[in-house]
């Protein structure tokens, strides 16, 4: 499944829609410290904004920045009418309370869907919140290839608040029968082998092998790892799993681009709400 192609398609549509708005959607990204991976992600988000015709601001702060200073910046951005989305790039340096900072973002500007209000809407089936970026990107990619979770056995590997838990919620909302597995799950291979749709978001190279995959299963690899040679890879052993899966996402070029495209979609929807216009 080609996430890169679908992400480009979605961003092209957003650019067309953005041109019709009274003003550009605005996204503010806060980066604390000098983590190389975080810098790469932030650079990608800036390019995405340019491609969609959005306005973006980046706040790069030293690793020693005080929590109070970050809260003050978020408070300022909360009050700005030209900023529709606020994103705090994770992980944060030691000593900073990420939960406190994420909770300080106004729910209507929480385009990463980390605020308890938006998480609560997701799990209770309410509308009006945002879709978590990575799980939302997975669902869009499945739909692009005509794959629905309805009536399917769905297995999610990983129980993080960023991917595993919201992924399970979105699959449940589409009438999938969902099993969430984690580091304490016994008989992992057996449970994976029951999956019609298998989503892996653990961060362990080579975790999912061909003998763990049901013939014809859809396999989605969310992880971004480095193997012993330093090459980017996911959790899935592509060579053996590709022989059994009906659909498989590559790493890179699968879910990564879709995550960023979903962030752009959320920012666009936030702008539409603030401007009181229809997103369609």
Q: Are residue 25 and residue 66 in the same domain, yes or no?
A: yes
Q: Domain total for the chain?
A: 2
Largest CA distance in the chain: 55
* Contact call for residues 96 and 66 (beta carbons, < 8 A): no
Q: What percent of the chain has pLDDT over 70?
A: 100
Tell me whether the omega of the peptide bond preceding residue 128 falls within 30 degrees of 0, making it cis: no
Q: What percent of the chain has pLDDT over 90?
A: 93
Is 13 among the domain residues? no
Q: Are residue 151 and residue 222 in the same domain, yes or no?
A: yes
**pLDDT at residue 151 is higher than 90:** yes
pLDDT-derived band of residue 46, with 50, 70 and 90 as boundaries? Answer: very high
Q: Are residue 54 and residue 72 in the same domain, yes or no?
A: yes
Q: Are residue 169 and residue 200 in the same domain, yes or no?
A: yes
- Residue positions annotated with a catalytic role: 45, 89, 112
pLDDT-derived band of residue 127, with 50, 70 and 90 as boundaries? Answer: confident
Q: CA-CA distance, 130 to 258, in Å (whole number)?
A: 15
For 198-256, write each residue's pLDDT tens digit.
Answer: 999 999 999 999 999 999 999 999 999 988 888 999 999 999 999 999 999 999 999 99
Domain with 167, as residue range(s), is 133-249
Which residues are CB-contacts of 197 (< 8 A; sequence separation ≥ 6)? 142, 147, 149, 152, 153, 154, 155, 171, 176, 217, 218, 220
**pLDDT at residue 36 is higher than 90:** no
- Alpha-carbon separation of residue 65 from 3, 68, 238 (angstroms): 36, 9, 41
100's tokens: 């406190």
Mean pLDDT of 82-111: 97
For 129-139, write each residue's pLDDT tens digit.
Answer: 899 999 999 99
Helix, strand, coil fractions of the chain, as percent rounded to 5: 40, 15, 40
Q: What pLDDT is recorded for position 2?
A: 97
> For the domain that residue 196 is a member of, what is the CATH number?
3.40.50.720
Lowest mean pLDDT among 83-92, 112-121, 125-134: 125-134
Mean pLDDT of 17-43: 94
> For the domain that residue 31 is a member of, what is the CATH number?
3.40.50.10860
Query: Could you give the 3-state DSSP secondary structure of residue 165?
Result: helix
């Amino acid at each position: 499944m080609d996430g890169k192609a679908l992400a480009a398609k979605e961003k092209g549509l957003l650019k067309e829609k953005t041109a019709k708005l009274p003003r550009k959607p605005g996204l503010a990204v806060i980066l604390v410290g000098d983590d190389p991976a975080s810098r790469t992600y932030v650079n990608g988000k800036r390019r995405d904004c340019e491609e969609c015709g959005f306005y973006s601001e980046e706040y790069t702060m030293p690793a020693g920045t005080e929590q109070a200073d970050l809260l003050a910046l978020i408070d300022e951005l909360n009050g700005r009418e030209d900023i529709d989305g606020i994103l705090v790039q994770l992980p944060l340096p030691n000593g900073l309370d990420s939960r406190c900072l994420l909770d300080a973002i106004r729910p209507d500007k929480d385009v990463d869907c980390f605020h308890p209000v938006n998480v609560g809407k997701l799990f209770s089936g309410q509308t009006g919140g945002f879709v978590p970026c990575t799980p939302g990107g997975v669902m869009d990619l499945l739909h692009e290839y005509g794959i629905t979770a309805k009536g399917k056995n769905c297995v999610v590997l990983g129980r993080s608040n960023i991917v595993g838990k919201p992924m399970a919620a979105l699959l449940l909302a589409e009438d999938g029968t969902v099993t969430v597995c984690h580091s304490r799950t016994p008989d992992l291979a057996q449970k994976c082998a029951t999956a019609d749709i298998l989503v892996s978001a653990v961060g362990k190279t080579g975790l999912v092998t061909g003998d763990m995959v049901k013939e014809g299963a859809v396999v989605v690899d969310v992880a971004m790892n480095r193997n012993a040679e330093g090459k980017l890879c996911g959790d899935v052993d592509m060579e053996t799993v590709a022989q059994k899966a009906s659909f498989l996402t590559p790493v890179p070029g699968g879910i990564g681009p879709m995550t960023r495209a979903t962030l752009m979609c959320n920012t666009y929807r936030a702008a539409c709400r603030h401007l009181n216009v229809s997103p369609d």
